[in-house]
Structure 1
C-alpha cells in the first residue's frame, strides 16, 4: 500500500533525524520523525527505544533511500570556507 508509512532510518541523535527530514522535505518528500521528544527528555532511554525513527510513505521509500544514501556519502556537505552572509542576496541588484 502506497499510503502506509515505513521506517527509513533510526537516529540516536534526534537533531540528525530532523536534519534528514529537512533534506527530504527539500526534495518534496513528506517525512515524519517519531520518538524524538521522548529521547530528548531522557537520552539514556534512546538505545532501549531504538532511537528516533524517520518515517516516509511507502510510495516515496526508494527516492528517500537514495537521498539518505547521498546525505551519508557527504554529497550535501558544505565546504569549510562557505560564506554565509544573511544580508547578501545575489538576486537583488
Structure 2
C-alpha cells in the first residue's frame, strides 16, 4: 500500500518546521519537511508559497495535529531546575576580543580571529 502524505502544519520559518518535525519523529510519527530549502534560499518567497510544510502519513494526521497543538501550547518546554531555580541556558562566553572582531568585520569588512572567554564554574554545562 502506498503512503500518502498530508500537510499537518505550515510555518513561515523553516527552522520552526524542523523543530516540529523533530518533535513528531520523537513521538514515533514519520514526518518530513517540505519547501525548507526554498524558504532559506529565497526568504522573501516564504509566505508567497505558503510557508514551509510539515508532512505526515494520512493515518498519523490526527495524532500529529494533537502533537503540534501541544507543541504550540508549550507542553514540551523545559521547566526550571527545581533545586536552584535556574533555567537551562547557554552561558554567555562573549569576550572583548569577539566584540572587537565583530566591529572590525562590520566597519572594515575584515574578519579577525577571536578567543572565547572560558566558562566559569557556575556556568558549567550541566549534564541531564
TM band (smaller chain): 0.7 to 0.9
Please say which structure displays the higher CA radius of gyration. 2
Equivalent pairs, count: 87
Query: Aligned-pair RMSD on alpha carbons?
Result: 1.9
TM-score by length of 1: 0.85
What's the counterpart of residue 35 of structure 2?
Answer: 35
Q: Does structure 2 retain, via aligned residues, the 8 Å contact 1:2–1:59?
A: no
Bigger relative CO (Cα 8 Å, ≥ 6 apart): 1
TM-score by length of 2: 0.63
Q: Which has the higher strand share?
A: 1
Evaluate the alpha carbon distance shift between residue 2 and residue 60 of structure 1 in structure 2; reply closer, same or farther with a 3 A threshold.
farther
Runs of 4+ in 1 over 2 A off after TM superposition: none
Is the partner of 2:48 in helix, strand or coil?
Answer: helix
How far apart are the structure 2 equivalents of 1:59 and 1:23?
A: 17
Q: Does structure 2 retain, via aligned residues, the 8 Å contact 1:2–1:58?
A: no
Displacement of 1:2: 7.7
Ranges in structure 2 where 5+ consecutive residues have no aligned partner: 81-86, 90-124
> What whole-Å deviation, never above 9, does each CA across 1:13-60 have from its counterpart, x for those lacking one?
000000000000100001110101001001100111110010000000
Is the partner of 2:79 in helix, strand or coil?
Answer: coil
